Amino acid sequence: MSERLNVRKTYKLVIGGAFVRSESGRSYEVTGADGAFLANVARASRKDVRDAVRAAEGAQPRWAAQGAMLRGQVLYRFAEMAEARAGELADQVSRAEGVDGATARASVAGGIDRLVWYAGWADKVGQVLGGANDVAGPFFNFSVPVPVGVVGVVAPADSSFAGLVDALVAPLVTGNAVVVLASEHRPVPAVLLGEMTATSDLPAGLVNVLSGPLDELGPVLAAHEAVDGLDLTGARDPGALAALAADSITRVLHAGPPATPEGGLQRLRAFVDTTTVWHTVGA
C-alpha cells in the first residue's frame, strides 16, 4: 500500500459566522516552534477587518438583549465544545509554542476552566458592577453595567490558547461582540476557537477571528470608528495602537491582567459602561 500524502489544510478567516478566504486571496505559511510546517492560514486584509467589525456590530445588540443567565448557558456550551476538542487544541499548542504534551494539555485544561469560570459570572456581574444607590427623595436609583459594543482583541502569542480565552470571553460575558486578531505566528488555536462558534449557540458574527500581519491589521482595527474597546494584550506597541483609538474615545486595556479571580474581574470591568436608572417609588 502506498504511503498517503498529508492533506495540508488552509485555515480560513471567521467572519459573520462563515469561514471565508481573505478578500485578497492571500495566505501564508505558519511553522511550529521547531521550524517545521504547521499550516496555511488566510492572510486578512484591511477590508476583512472592516467586514469583521460590521459583522460584530450586527450581532452585538441581539447578544446583549439576551438574558444574562442565557448568555452564561451559551458560554458554558462553548466550554463543552472546547473540552471535546481538547486533544486537538493541545496538539496545536504544543507544536506552536514548542512545549511538551503534558504542558500543552495543562494549558488547554486551564483555558477551558477559565471559560467555565467566566460563564458562571454572566448572571452575577450585574450585581457586582452595579447596584442600588442611596438618593434623597422618593426615587429608586440603580447603577447598571452595559456593554460598550464591539471589542477588538490583539491575541497574545505567548499563551496562544489559555491567554486568548481570557481576552476573548471576558467581553462576551458582559454582552459585547469581539473581533480577534490572532497571534501572527501562532494563529491556529485562535482559528480553531473561531471554528467552534459555527456549531455553538453564539450568534453568527459575535466572534470574528482574523489571521495575518499585526503591523498591517492592528492600526486598521484600532482606528475604526465602530470599535468601542481594545484589548492590546498581544500588541507589540500598545501605545501606538491606543493613540490611534483616541479619536473615537475607545476603551483600551493596555496589558492583560493576570489569570486570577482579581484579574478576571478587572477584565470584566474593562468593557462596560455604567447606566443610571431612576424610578419613582410606588409608580
Cell of 173: 460575558
Map out the domains of the chain with their CATH numbers.
Answer: 10-280 (3.40.605.10)
CA distance 58 to 47: 17
- DSSP character for 242? H
pTM for this entry: 0.91
Contacts 24+ apart (CB under 8 A), 83-91: 83/112, 85/192, 85/196, 86/112, 88/192, 89/161, 89/189, 89/192
Cell of 79: 466550554
pLDDT in tens, 247-270: 887 789 987 777 778 888 889 998
Average pLDDT of the chain?
Answer: 90
Helix (H) or strand (E) holding 131: strand 131-132
Mean pLDDT of 204-229: 95
Specify the pLDDT at position 1.
54
Given 3-state DSSP classes, what are the helix, strand and coil percentages for the chain, each rounded to the nearest 5? Answer: 45, 20, 35
Instruction: Please state whether beta strands 13-15 and 131-132 pair in parallel, antiparallel, or not at all (unpaired).
Output: unpaired
Specify the pLDDT at position 283.
55
- Computed on alpha carbons and rounded to an integer, the radius of gyration of the chain in Å comes to 20
pLDDT in tens, 157-188: 888 888 899 999 999 999 999 999 999 999 99
